[in-house]
Each structure stands twice: as structure tokens, then as C-alpha cells.
Structure 1
Amino acid sequence: MKLAILGTRGVPNNHGGFEQFAEYFSLYMANKGYDVSVFNSHTHPYQEKEWNGVKIIHKNDPEDKIGTAGQFFYDLNCINHCKSEHFDVILQLGYTSSSIWSKLLPKNSLIVTNMDGLEWKRSKYKKPVRRFLKFAESLAIKSSDFLVSDSIGIQDYIKKTYNKESKYIAYGADAFTTPNEVVLNTYYVKPYNYNMLIARLEPENNIESVLDGAVLANTKEIFLVVGKHDVNKFGAYLKNKYKEHPYIKFVGGIYNLDHLNNLRYFSKLYFHGHSVGGTNPSLLEAMASGALIVANDNVFNKSILKDNALYFKDEKDVCRIMDDAVLFEKYKKEFKNNNVKEIMLNFNWDLINSQYEEYLLSKLNSNA
């Protein structure tokens, strides 16, 4: 199989969930002997043409000059390259900025698309953009030979809305087994004496509800907000709103996985507010690190966490949970053990990667 992975800013990961998956899966496939290429933005800090056996194809990405619109041109450049070099399978991660070019995809390649979350539901977008995203979703459905859903909720949605089958394959994570308190010194926190969240600072991640709850709570422990706060208006708005509350600390993006794992492991409460579709990678990582998770009450989070988390709907729930002194001692060990076991059984990277490999091979062979 000659495989191309399209739709990310590139590997190694320094951005987000799809990039992380592309990193793990491309390395897995290269180690298995497949011919694997990943498209990288020309602005990606890694500038070599190969990474651990994975071919890197840099393409012009004007996002740094013209903003979000640049993603469309970047995807166009990647798709045009696919027309000049034959790939057996093109694995598209997401569809937002690539589906409008779907007619340009090569007819002699198998197109498999991971449908991501319900992008058109994201409240950060204005109504015209959300209408476009719904249209882009339908284009991706029609133009793909096969579809992958990263959650049962998305799989059900695609079946109900488009009467299309999709293969459920989640993201992966590695169980965290090497806690090291020394890492905490970098962030001026002490074990089990702080709360935290990790997210892109966007409205649908319910960050404002979580932080409003922290303000309402009588407990004023340090609250670490991990995520780039200087890349959009909402991030700047949040940082300004809570500037009078010194215990709420915006620490920016952190991409050192060992640091993130230790911060999650030693946190008192870990808040996961994501509400728009998909199996979020940061949720699996929180489970794998043994954090006591407080998640937004929605079908996507509940389908993964089941009964092994606390849930909130609004800032009042957050306040109540933060002020309940017995929850940590009551649930930490039980939820930790159950979540780590779930990761090891159903979400480990070897399993996820092998599921993708088997699925792509089966579809390639059936279309030979």
C-alpha cells in the first residue's frame, strides 16, 4: 500500500489531535514497511523530507499570511500533488477545507475520510460559515469512497442523516506509568492541590462555564488553563475576563507529553468541556493519565467515560463539584483504575493503528 495522509498541519505533532494521530499512525505504517507520506505545511518547524521512515511532503500554506482562508489553498496544493504522484489510498483527516476541491481528487486512488466532529455546530462560527460547513460535510460524504467515524455518536449521525455506513475507529492513548513530581515545579503547583483543563480556547469547549464555576466556588485552588490564548478573540476575551482572579492561570499551549501527563496525573480535578462530537484525543489522554475527570454532560463524552467520571452541565454544577471535599477521595482511585483499564483494552495505540491498517487494506483489496 502506498498511503498519503492529508488534512493536518504535519508531523511530528505540534498542533492538535489529528496531527497526533497522523504522527502515531504514519510511524506505525512505516515501521510495518508501507510507503507512507504525510503532507506538512511549509511553515511546520520540521523541515526535513523524511521523519523516521515517513516521507514528508511540504506544501505552501498561506494561513500565516491570510488567516483561515489559507487552509483551503493548502489543501488544494496537497490535492494537486496527489494528482501528480499516485497513491493507493488517500486518508483525509477532516473535510472542512478540503471537500470543496473533492472533484480534483484522483479517481484512481481510494479516498477514505475521517469525518471528525460536527464542525457546523461550533458556536465560534457565524451562521453563513456554519451553513458552508454543513455543505462541506455533505460534499465529503459524497466524494469519499469510505468513511471513518471516531465516535459512535458520529457514526449514528452519519447513518441517520446521510444513510451512509462508516467504520468506527476511535483515537488512541498510552497508559501513563511514570509520574514525576519534579515536573510540577515548572508550573509552580503541588500534587493534588490544583485543578486544570486542556483545550482549544473556543466557546463550544465550555471553558467559560468551567471558569465561572471556579470563580463561584469557595475553594480557590490554582486553576491551570492549558491552551493557546493568543490566537483568537475568544482566548483574549477569557484571559481578560478572569484577570482579577490570580488563581486562574493561563499557561498557553504545552506540547511536551510528559509534562502534560504529569500535570493531569497530579491534578485534583481535570475538566473536559468539549461538546461538539468525536472522541477527543485529550479526553483519552486524561483517562490514560489517571486524572479524576469532570466532563461536560453530553453523549460523546458519556459514550467514552461511561460511569467513570463526574459530569457538569453549567457553572453551578462546576461550583458544587469543586466545593465537595469528599469527591476526590471517594472517586479518584476507582475512576482512575477503570479508565486506565479501558485505555489499555480498547484505546491503546497499537489497537487503533492496527484497526486502521486492517480497514484500509480490506477496502483496498476489495476494490482491486
Structure 2
Amino acid sequence: MTSAGKNAVIAGRKVRILGDAQGDNIREYGDRQHVFIIGSKGIPAQYGGFETFVEKLTGYRKSEKILYHVARMAEDNMRFFYNGALCFDIRVPYIGPARAVACDLIALRRSIDYCKEHPEVRKPVFYVLACRIGPFIAPFRREIHSLGGTLFVNPDGHEWKRAKWSKPVRKYWKTSEGLMVKSADLLICDSKNIEKYIRSTYRKYKPDTTYIAYGSEIGPSPLGDSDPVFTNWLSEHGLRAGDYYLVVGRFVPENNFETMIREFMKSGSGRDFAIITTTDGRFYNRLEETLGFEKDPRIKFVGTVYDQA
């Protein structure tokens, strides 16, 4: 374990190790808006959706009056400073899908206890990503309100519809979603359709919602079209600049890969169809058996791209 005050490297990024929470100079942080983020795997991000969101949210922070506290699923209980955020590791045993539920519960418990131990923290915000812990949220909500805090929830997508889950797990997700919606002071949706779904499906709870998009850099890339990094990548995958369609997404049935590939195969397009994703062998094989897309030279699974330039 690296000593407090020393630098360490996590996921390829340098962080500063902290001591235990009792040693925090809360007088330095007391006048800030404390925001506790729970539900991602933590930062530094390793390219998960919520993780990248938290990485960018903390990295692009504009106001010094905001202090983020970010829970991170890990193998220890280390605390460290990264991207201007106080990060705290949650050690959770490998217990299958329930591990994420346990991590969120422990993280929320520790965040609330932190505020109780540091009464200088006023009107804290607890921002829970995804709807995993609905059956357990009501008593936490009461504690949060007793602290003068608020509970924000990002409901994510239709997790309860995902084919990867068994029927009992899907039922749990749906029940949990409803309970999270019922308890949230504000639901922050990153899709207009999800916001519409929440407001319609759970209108009896009169949910307070807002829509905030995220997911893309809006500035121009410093990497030019003639840059060798880009041209070599094109050559490696048999692509020509400006002459291909591009899809980037998680390789799961819910992202409509079968529909996209099938309809592209029907087209007479002279362009290629490049798919950036991490392929799951079973789903890939199932698509090939159904569509026979490997016979179409225009369809190219090109792996992943982690160079953010």
C-alpha cells in the first residue's frame, strides 16, 4: 500500500494517495458543494460508459466550489485524489452480478457516514448512477434528507429488458427501477426517450426529471485526415477515408447490430461498413449463422480504438 501523500499509478494515470477520511481537512472543503457519485466502477476510467462520464465530469469541472467524491470498485479500501475529486475504493468480494449492488450500498453508506462525521458538509448531493438498489433506497433517502441533502438518480436505459439477464434478474431490475424513481429528488436522463418513458410509466410518482446529454467531445480532433496514425489504421483495416459508414457501440443484441448488418447487406452501397466494438464470440457467431455477413467484404469488424485524439 502506498503511503498517504505519495503518488501512485492507477489505470495508467497518476493519482495522489490520501489517508483515512478522519484526516480530511474539511475546513478547506467545508464551503464547497459536495457531490457524491455512486454507481460507476470509478475513475480513472477504463472506457466504461458511466466511468467515462465521471472522468469527463470531474475533468471538465469549471467551479472550484464543487468537490466530487467518487466511489470506485476495487480490491482494497484506498483513498486517493484524482481529477480534482476525492476518490474512495470499495472492496467487494466477487459474488456475481450482486457485486455491483453491494458496492453501491457500501458506497452510499460510507458517503452518508462521511457527511455525519463532517457536519461542515452542508446540503450534500448524492448522485446514484443506474437503478440497482431500489429495494434498499428508502431508508437511505430518509438519512439523506435528514442531512439536508438531495438524491439524484441517472436511470440509465432499459436494463430490465437486456437479454443477458435471467427472468428473475430482469424482474428485479424493473422493480428496482420503479423504487429508485419513487425515491429520487431529481432524475437526470441522458436520453430524451428515457425521460419520456420515466415520466409516462411512473407518472403516479410525479417524477422530477431533466435531460442532460453526454457522450461526445464537440471540439475538432487534433488528428488530421493525413496523419499517419489515421492513415495506417485505415490501411490496416482495408478502409478508405470518407468511403465507409461507421458504427461504434457495445456489442449486445439491444444495440440492433442484427438489424443494421442485415439492412446494410441488402443495400447496394459501394462503401464499407466499419464496426468498432469489442466482439462477444457467442453473439458474433449467432449473427454469422443468421446473416452470413462474413461473405460480404464490405462489413468489417475493426476491433476497438482507445486513442482519444
Q: TM-score, normalised by structure 1?
A: 0.60
1:152 matched to 2:192? The reply is: yes
Partner of 2:40: 8
Q: 1:260-307 CA distances to partner (integer Å, 9 max, x unpaired)?
A: xxxxxxxxxxxxxxxxxxxxxxxxxxxxxxxxxxxxxxxxxxxxxxxx
Aligned pair 1:177/2:208, yes or no? no
Contact persistence 1:8–1:19 (CA under 8 A): yes
> In structure 2, what residue type is equivalent to 1:50?
F
Distance in 1, Cα, partners of 2:126 & 2:297: 48
The alignment status of 1:217 with 2:260, answered yes or no, reads no
Query: Per the alignment, in what secondary structure is the counterpart of residue 175 of structure 1?
Result: coil
- What pairs up with 1:29-40 in 2 under 5 angstroms? 29=61, 31-40=63-72
Report the counterpart of residue 113 of structure 1 in structure 2: 153
Question: Based on CA coordinates, which of the two structures has the bigger radius of gyration?
Answer: 2
The alpha-carbon deviation at position 38 of structure 1 amounts to 1.0
**What is aligned with 1:18?**
50
Instruction: Give the drift of 1:37.
Output: 0.9
Aligned alpha-carbon RMSD (Å): 2.9
Report deviation, 1:246: 4.7
Provide TM-score, normalisation by structure 2.
0.70
Q: Which residue number in structure 2 is paired with residue 254 of structure 1?
A: 305
Q: Which residue of 1 aligns with 2:84?
A: 53
Note the C-alpha offset of 1:197: 0.7
- Asked if 1 retains the 8 angstrom alpha-carbon contact of 2:186 and 2:210, the reply is no
Higher relative contact order, structure no. (Cα contacts within 8 Å, ≥ 6 residues apart): 1
| Distance in 2 separating the partners of 1:233 and 1:66 | 23
- Work out the CA distance in 2 between the residues paired with 1:69 and 1:187: 41
Within 1, Cα distance between the matches of 2:156 and 2:246?
25
Equivalent residues of 1:102, 1:140 under 8 A apart: yes
On the 8 A contact 1:14/1:255 being kept in 2, the answer is: no
Stretches of structure 2 that go unaligned for 5 or more consecutive residues are 1-32, 116-120
Q: 1:102 aligns with which of 137, 140, 144?
A: 137
Specify the code of the residue in structure 2 equivalent to 1:93. Answer: L
Q: 1:116 to 1:82 in 2, by over 3 A?
A: same
Q: Give 1:254 shift.
A: 2.6
Q: Does 1:82 align with 2:131?
A: no
The alignment of Structure 1 onto Structure 2 pairs a total of residues equal to: 252
State the identity as a percent: 27
Q: Tell whether 2:281 aligns with 1:204.
A: no
Higher strand share: 2
1:91 paired residue number: 127
Q: Between 240-249 and 167-176, report the one with greater CA deviation.
A: 240-249
Amino acid at match of 1:73: A
> In the TM superposition, what whole-angstrom CA distance separates every residue of 1:2-57 from its partner, at most 9, and x where no partner exists?
1111111122332333222212222344752322111122169xx87111211111
2:24 maps to which residue?
none
Change in CA separation of 1:254 and 1:101 when aligned onto 2, cut-off 3 Å: farther
Q: Equivalents in 1 of 2:211, 2:288: separation in Å?
A: 36
Q: CA deviation at 1:166?
A: 2.4
Residue 239 of structure 1 and its aligned partner are, at CA, apart by 6.6
Instruction: Give unmatched runs, 5+ long, in structure 1.
Output: 259-368
2:26 maps to none
